[in-house]
Chains A and B, each alone.
Chain A
Amino acid sequence: MEEELKVIVFKLGSEEYGIEVDKVQTIERMMPITRVPKTFSFVKGVINLRGVVIPVIDLRGRFALPETEYTDQTRIVIVGVEDMQVGFIVDSANDVIDIKRDAIDSPPEVVGGVKARYLRGVAKLEDARLLIMLNLNEVLNKSEIVQLESIEG
Chain B
Amino acid sequence: MDMNQYLSMFIDESNDHLQSLNENMLQLEGSPEDLGIVQVIFRSAHTLKGMAATMGFEDLASLTHKMENVLDLVRNEKLKMQDFIFDTLFKSLDALETMVQDITEGGEGKADVSSIVASLQAIESGEWTGGTAPVAAVNQSPSTTTPSAVELDEFQYSVLDQSIAEGHRVLYIEVLVSEQSQLKGVRAYMVFDLLERSGEVVKSFPTVQDIEQEKFERSFSLYYITTKEAQELEKGIMSISEIESAKVIQLDQETLQQMTNQVAATAEVEAAPVPAPVVASPEPSSSSQEESKKPAATKAAAPKQAAAPSRTIRVDIERLDVLMNLFSELLIDRSRLEQLASETGNNDLSDTVAHLSRVSTDLQNIVLKLRMVPVDTVFNRFPRMIRDLAKTLDKKIDLVITGAETELDRTVIDEIGDPLVHLLRNAVDHGVESIAERVAAGKPEMGTVNLRAFHSGNHVFIEIEDDGKGIYRDNLLRTAVKRGVVTEEQGAKMSDDEVNQLLFAPGFSTADKISDISGRGVGLDVVKSKITSLGGNVTIHSTPGKGTNFSVQLPLTLSIIAAMLVRLGSEKYAVPLSSIVETAIVQREQVRNIHGNKMITFRESLIPYLSLSEVFGVPDFNDADEQETEIVVIRKGERLAAVAVEEFIGQSEIVLKSMGTYLPAIEGISGATILGDGQVALILDPNAFIK
Chain A residues at the B interface, C-beta cutoff of 8 Å = 32, 34-39, 43, 45-48, 51-55, 83-86, 140, 142, 145-146
Instruction: Return the chain A residue nearest B332 by Cβ.
Output: A51
Give the docked Cα–Cα distance between A140 and B662 (Å). Answer: 8
Q: Say whether A53 contacts B661, CB under 8 Å.
A: no
Give a binary string over B563-605; 1 marks a CB under 8 Å from any A CB, 0 the rest.
Answer: 0000000010000000000000000000000000000000000
Give a binary string over B645-686; 1 marks a CB under 8 Å from any A CB, 0 the rest.
Answer: 000000000000111111110111100101000111110000
29 contacts between A and B (CB under 8 A): A32-B678, A36-B659, A36-B663, A36-B666, A36-B669, A37-B615, A37-B666, A37-B668, A37-B682, A38-B616, A38-B617, A38-B667, A39-B664, A46-B680, A46-B682, A48-B674, A48-B680, A51-B329, A52-B657, A53-B657, A53-B659, A53-B672, A53-B680, A55-B659, A85-B662, A86-B660, A140-B662, A142-B662, A145-B664
Give the docked Cα–Cα distance between A120 and B412 (Å). Answer: 42
Quote the shortest CB–CB distance from B612 to chain A (angstroms).
9
Q: Could you list 17 further interchain pairs (A-B, Cβ under 8 angstroms) beyond the known A34-B680, A36-B669, A46-B659?
A: A34-B682, A36-B666, A37-B615, A37-B617, A37-B669, A38-B616, A38-B668, A46-B682, A51-B332, A53-B657, A53-B674, A53-B680, A83-B661, A86-B660, A86-B662, A145-B664, A146-B664
Give a binary string over B613-652; 1 marks a CB under 8 Å from any A CB, 0 the rest.
Answer: 0011111000000000000000000000000000000000
Across-interface contacts of A48 in B (CB, < 8 A): 674, 678-680
Interface centre among B618, B658, B659 (most CB of A within 10 A): B659
Across-interface contacts of A146 in B (CB, < 8 A): 664
Across-interface contacts of B682 in A (CB, < 8 A): 34, 36-37, 46
Q: Say whether B616 contacts A39, CB under 8 Å.
A: no
Across-interface contacts of B332 in A (CB, < 8 A): 51
Give the docked Cα–Cα distance between A82 and B82 (Å). Answer: 61
Q: Which of A36, A47, A53 meets B658, CB within 8 Å?
A: A53
Quote the shortest CB–CB distance from B245 to chain A (angstroms).
67
Instruction: Return the chain A residue nearest B329 by Cβ.
Output: A51
Q: Which of B571, B615, B657, B668 meets A35, CB within 8 Å?
A: B571
B interface size (C-beta, 8 A): 27
Give the docked Cα–Cα distance between A53 and B619 (Å). Answer: 22
Across-interface contacts of A86 in B (CB, < 8 A): 660, 662
Instruction: Return the chain B residue nearest A33 by Cβ.
Output: B680
Across-interface contacts of A145 in B (CB, < 8 A): 664
Across-interface contacts of B615 in A (CB, < 8 A): 37
Give the docked Cα–Cα distance between A86 and B618 (Å). Answer: 23
Across-interface contacts of B680 in A (CB, < 8 A): 34, 45-48, 53
Interface centre among A34, A35, A47, A142 (most CB of B within 10 A): A34
The 4 closest A-B pairs by CB, nearest first: A37-B616, A34-B680, A53-B657, A53-B672
Quote the shortest CB–CB distance from A149 to chain B (angstroms).
9
Q: Which of A46, A84, A140, A142 meets B664, CB within 8 Å?
A: A142
Q: Say whether B664 contacts A85, CB under 8 Å.
A: no
Give the docked Cα–Cα distance between A85 and B672 (Å). Answer: 15
Give the docked Cα–Cα distance between A66 and B125 (Å). Answer: 90
Interface centre among B615, B658, B667, B672 (most CB of A within 10 A): B672
Quote the shortest CB–CB distance from B560 to chain A (angstroms).
14
Instruction: Return the chain A residue nearest B661 by Cβ.
Output: A84
Give the docked Cα–Cα distance between A141 and B662 (Å). Answer: 9
Across-interface contacts of A52 in B (CB, < 8 A): 657
Quote the shortest CB–CB distance from A153 to chain B (angstroms).
13
- Given the known interface contacts A34-B571, A34-B679, A38-B616, the answer about A43 and B663 at a Cβ–Cβ threshold of 8 Å is yes
Give the docked Cα–Cα distance between A83 and B662 (Å). Answer: 10
Instruction: Return the chain A residue nearest B571 by Cβ.
Output: A35
Give the docked Cα–Cα distance between A51 and B680 (Å). Answer: 10
Give the docked Cα–Cα distance between A39 and B617 (Å). Answer: 11
Give the docked Cα–Cα distance between A84 and B571 (Å). Answer: 26
Quote the shortest CB–CB distance from B334 to chain A (angstroms).
13
- Given the known interface contacts A34-B672, A34-B681, the answer about A84 and B662 at a Cβ–Cβ threshold of 8 Å is yes
Q: Say whether B660 contacts A54, CB under 8 Å.
A: yes
Instruction: Return the chain A residue nearest B619 by Cβ.
Output: A35
Across-interface contacts of A140 in B (CB, < 8 A): 662
Give the docked Cα–Cα distance between A84 and B619 (Å). Answer: 29
Give the docked Cα–Cα distance between A78 and B26 (Å). Answer: 59
Give the docked Cα–Cα distance between A39 and B672 (Å). Answer: 15
Q: Say whether B679 contacts A32, CB under 8 Å.
A: yes
Q: Say whether A55 contacts B616, CB under 8 Å.
A: no
Across-interface contacts of B667 in A (CB, < 8 A): 38
Q: Say whether A38 contacts B666, CB under 8 Å.
A: yes
Quote the shortest CB–CB distance from A35 to chain B (angstroms).
6
Give the docked Cα–Cα distance between A146 and B662 (Å). Answer: 12
Instruction: Return the chain A residue nearest B681 by Cβ.
Output: A34
Quote the shortest CB–CB distance from B114 to chain A (angstroms).
51
Instruction: Return the chain B residue nearest A46 by Cβ.
Output: B680
- Given the known interface contacts A48-B679, A51-B329, A53-B674, the answer about A39 and B666 at a Cβ–Cβ threshold of 8 Å is yes
Q: Say whether A55 contacts B662, CB under 8 Å.
A: yes
Across-interface contacts of A32 in B (CB, < 8 A): 678-679
Quote the shortest CB–CB distance from A33 to chain B (angstroms).
8
Instruction: Return the chain B residue nearest A85 by Cβ.
Output: B660
Instruction: Return the chain B residue nearest A35 by Cβ.
Output: B571
Give the docked Cα–Cα distance between A86 and B659 (Å). Answer: 10
Quote the shortest CB–CB distance from B288 to chain A (angstroms).
77
Across-interface contacts of B619 in A (CB, < 8 A): 35
Quote the shortest CB–CB distance from B336 to chain A (angstroms).
10
Q: Say whether B666 contacts A55, CB under 8 Å.
A: no
Across-interface contacts of A46 in B (CB, < 8 A): 659, 663, 672, 680, 682
Quote the shortest CB–CB distance from B433 to chain A (angstroms).
44
Give the docked Cα–Cα distance between A51 and B678 (Å). Answer: 8
